[in-house]
Structure 1
């Protein structure tokens, strides 16, 4: 009988100890109630409560996800789109999270759906499809402000899907295809235009370079001819100066000049022409012949002045003195 009583007492102690000792994980906090009234908030670790008098409600502080079901939303331009999103939240105040909302999951889901309809309803279809970041930010701000009294903080909101009707999708696909074809045509025309401009600029540059090359070549040839003529003129001038200096230094007499003159006439007459014009005055020629005749005699003069070939065929006609 005594052993049975001891066994019962042992069992009761074990049950009371199990009821009194509670363990909270590092990501949990506890709200302790005594006889249905809030008593205190306890941290993680070993917590001792009074069995059957105090109760503890555990609150998870980790970030959690709420999947908002898809819903149909009418945009500003009267287009029906299907939108759904996910909400990431975390509990920051266990007391408010326990006592200020009955079903947090249902409450935040309905709140997200309502505000999502309001935000998307103020946008046109094109804005809705291209403004996901704006929708996410706006919806997060609204939800975060509304859930402050629930002891939670909305970390972020992500739009999962914005699905327009099938006919709108087909029209958008055709529009995008037409836009891409338009861009391709514009790019092709622009490329052709640029190629023609480049080709014209190349031809222009080639023509300019060719003209410059020809001008430079003509200039070089002209410079060479100029240098050649200058060199020839300088050579002839030097030769004439040398001849004149030699003549003056030799102090030639009239006799020598007359002989040279007659030799020159013989060379002039020794040609194929039937008429010869002598660029000399008649009076000068007669004076020279007169001087020569005094030196050599008239017979020798006739032999020198009129060669045999000239007597036969050629006539010497001196020009009339002015």
Structure 2
């Protein structure tokens, strides 16, 4: 039977313990007894020993609190961070990485990452200078270089950076044409956004430096996307053709320059050769001049014969002596030589021809100068 059931009073655990009726403990009595003990330790009715025990308890409590306060002041700054120390809420100094200590409730430390490269992106639909709508998405990479300025220059540095990036992109796109933003003007647009963003952030002095600016995407509205894709493909083909033409020009130009240089060198060589030959002729005639002055007729005849020998040395014509007034007979020796295949035996088949006046016909091979001289004198003695 349970103690709290009817007829179970004898089973009450708070009664009949130790021969007396005992109920549950009263919380008020517990707190009174506890405070009474502390009052005795603090110098109550216990006399001198109570006072000494109270002082010892207070000293231990104060020492414990001092130890806790001292231990709680240790903190660590990581390698990539710098700590901004505030003393009573005011900037005090900066601390380097490592294990540090600060007086709790007096100093507070704000760690700032100064080595990691952070990203900040921005995108949206924007109106260009030629009143077209484009959707641009760019991303900025930056790093904190001044922890104090990054912490206290503005209320929210990340929000300020995002708004500044939006403003720079919209300004540059608003002063650019759509074709420049979508095609070959992307690099110029990216550089202009970078410069405009730096100009916006300079008055705020946020303590950051911009590492890079990435032009991630730029596209027209979906309604005209196909037409712009065709236009971009045509411009890419144009650039490809231009590069092919430049490559062809780079291939042909060295060859043309080589030919031009070779022709110049050949012309220079020809010029030098002609000059040397002319100088040689002049020197030869200067050597002949004294002999000509001593015997003009003999020298003139010899020069004439040498010239006629050089002229008729390569011909296959027949010269006939016509000093008796007979007509000159022509023998087509060149035709005969062509028909015979220019064989050596054919030369023996051409005997001297007998003219009607009994004179012999002589074949001029470039070495018989007597017949040449007779022909010259019979033709007027030239």
Q: What TM-score do you get using the length of structure 1 for normalisation?
A: 0.54
Higher RCO (Cα < 8 Å, 6 or more apart): 1
2:127 is aligned with 1:74? yes
What does residue 106 of structure 1 align with? 159
Flag structure 1 segments of 5+ consecutive residues without an equivalent.
184-219, 241-322
Give the distance between the partners of 1:69 and 1:75, measured in 2 at CA: 17
2:122 is aligned with 1:122? no
Give the distance between the partners of 1:181 and 1:48, measured in 2 at CA: 66
The answer to whether the Cα contact below 8 Å between 2:126 and 2:173 also exists between their aligned partners in 1 is yes
The answer to whether the Cα contact below 8 Å between 1:32 and 1:42 also exists between their aligned partners in 2 is yes
Flag structure 2 segments of 5+ consecutive residues without an equivalent.
1-40, 42-52, 240-333, 355-382
The answer to whether the Cα contact below 8 Å between 2:81 and 2:113 also exists between their aligned partners in 1 is yes
Give the distance between the partners of 2:180 and 2:98, measured in 1 at CA: 50
Give the distance between the partners of 2:336 and 2:111, measured in 1 at CA: 109
Q: What TM-score do you get using the length of structure 2 for normalisation?
A: 0.46
**Higher Rg of the two aligned structures:** 1
Give the distance between the partners of 1:144 and 1:61, measured in 2 at CA: 19
Compute the RMSD of aligned alpha carbons.
3.6
What does residue 173 of structure 1 align with? 229
Residue deviations 1:46-97 (CA, integer Å, cap 9, x gap): 2222221111111111334333342111011111111122111111111111
Deviation of the 1:176 alpha carbon: 5.5
Deviation of the 1:180 alpha carbon: 8.9
Give the distance between the partners of 1:146 and 1:181, measured in 2 at CA: 39
Counterparts of 1:121-140 in structure 2 under 5 Å? 121-130=174-183, 131-140=185-194
Counterparts of 1:288-299 in structure 2 under 5 Å? none
What does residue 118 of structure 2 align with? 65
**Greater share of helix:** 1
The answer to whether the Cα contact below 8 Å between 1:66 and 1:105 also exists between their aligned partners in 2 is no
**Greater share of strand:** 1
Give the distance between the partners of 2:88 and 2:97, measured in 1 at CA: 22
Residue deviations 1:253-285 (CA, integer Å, cap 9, x gap): xxxxxxxxxxxxxxxxxxxxxxxxxxxxxxxxx
Give the distance between the partners of 2:232 and 2:195, measured in 1 at CA: 34
Task: Return the match for 2:145 from 92, 107, 131.
Answer: 92
What does residue 21 of structure 1 align with? 74
What does residue 99 of structure 2 align with? 46
Counterparts of 1:225-244 in structure 2 under 5 Å? 225=339, 231-232=345-346, 234-235=348-349, 237=351
The answer to whether the Cα contact below 8 Å between 2:128 and 2:176 also exists between their aligned partners in 1 is yes
